């Protein structure tokens, strides 16, 4: 298992941000998702987020919702998500799960943390769990040796940001906009201001998500953040592809473009 701290130390030593890519497990199929995630890594993604499909997603925009619903209709299970983590982590990339709290609670808090560690997972992002309510989860991930990642948003107060930063390990997820996920023509200008608010409160890396879809946008975010998170843009390529093989190659191509963006941002 490659830990998040190790990955961010490596990218920092290279003078650049880390590139983080997301896909929901089970889309377009279990094997197709694994192949697409490995293509991401081959294209230059440093950290992989595996989404756990859920029937009531609060943050997901229509693109990710479509893929998650298809994965659920295809019978994807939490065990399949963990198998996906194991397959991708074997490539050497730091691998996380992004999951709403309900599926983890149903699986068993300690059991899920232990299963993630056994699969080689580096951590778990829980977008709808606040640190105030995360006591049992923080105990479980500490015992399992994996990182809990929490989110801050433009609406977060300084006290909320401090609590999130204190509870997080690995990195802090900086949501650049209010609302649901989705690729955007322009990254929110609130992201840089939010990163500036978080910086004095933690030494953890700050990774910005929600909206990045091009190499130019990735370079823009990489100029002030430690990580650039891309999800919907990858998912859209799989949805629009004429066949799974074409989708995988499109994902690889976008990863190459985004990786060039983050690698050029601080050396240009």
Question: Catalytic: which of 9, 46, 56, 60?
Answer: 60
Give the separation between CA 79 and CA 60, rounded to whole angstroms: 22
Q: Going along 82-168, which residue ranges are E strands?
A: 94-98, 123-125, 147-149, 151-152
Closest of 172, 231, 238, 221 to residue 4, by C-alpha: 172
How far is residue 105 CA from its own chain's centroid?
Answer: 20
Q: Sign of dihedral through CA atoms 110, 111, 112, 118?
A: positive
- Respond yes or no: is residue 49 known to be catalytic: yes
Question: Catalytic: which of 46, 49, 147, 226?
Answer: 49
Q: Give the residues across from 42 on adjacent strands.
A: none
Helices (H), 44-134: 62-73, 78-89, 101-107, 109-118
Task: Tell me how many degrees the CA angle 20-24-25 measures, rounded to the nearest 5.
Answer: 115
- Respond yes or no: is residue 60 known to be catalytic: yes
Give the separation between CA 108 and CA 111, rounded to whole angstroms: 5
Helices (H), 170-265: 190-198, 215-222, 232-240, 244-265
Residues carrying an active site annotation: 49, 60
């Amino acid at each position: 298992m490659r830990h998040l701290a190790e990955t961010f130390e490596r990218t920092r030593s290279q003078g650049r941000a880390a590139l983080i890519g997301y896909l929901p497990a089970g889309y377009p199929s279990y094997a197709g998702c694994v192949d697409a995630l490995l293509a991401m890594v081959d294209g230059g993604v440093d950290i992989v987020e595996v989404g756990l499909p859920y029937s009531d997603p609060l943050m997901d925009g229509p693109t990710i919702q479509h893929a998650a619903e298809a994965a659920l209709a295809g019978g994807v299970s939490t065990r399949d998500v963990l198998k996906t983590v194991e397959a991708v982590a074997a490539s050497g990339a730091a691998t996380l799960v992004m999951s709403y709290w309900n599926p983890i609670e149903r699986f068993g808090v300690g059991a899920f943390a232990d299963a993630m560690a056994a699969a080689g997972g580096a951590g778990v992002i829980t977008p709808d769990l606040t640190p105030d309510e995360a006591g049992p989860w923080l105990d479980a991930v500490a015992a399992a040796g994996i990182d809990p990642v929490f989110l801050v948003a433009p609406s977060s107060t300084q006290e909320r940001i401090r609590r999130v930063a204190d509870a997080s390990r690995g990195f802090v997820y900086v949501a650049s906009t209010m609302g649901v996920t989705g690729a955007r023509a322009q990254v929110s200008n609130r992201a840089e201001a939010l990163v500036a608010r978080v910086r004095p409160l933690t030494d953890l890396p700050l990774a910005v998500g929600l909206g990045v879809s091009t190499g130019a946008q990735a370079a823009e975010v990489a100029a002030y953040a430690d990580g650039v998170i891309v999800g919907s843009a990858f998912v859209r390529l799989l949805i629009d592809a004429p066949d799974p093989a074409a989708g995988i190659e499109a994902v690889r191509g976008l990863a190459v473009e985004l990786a060039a963006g983050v690698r050029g941002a601080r050396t240009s």
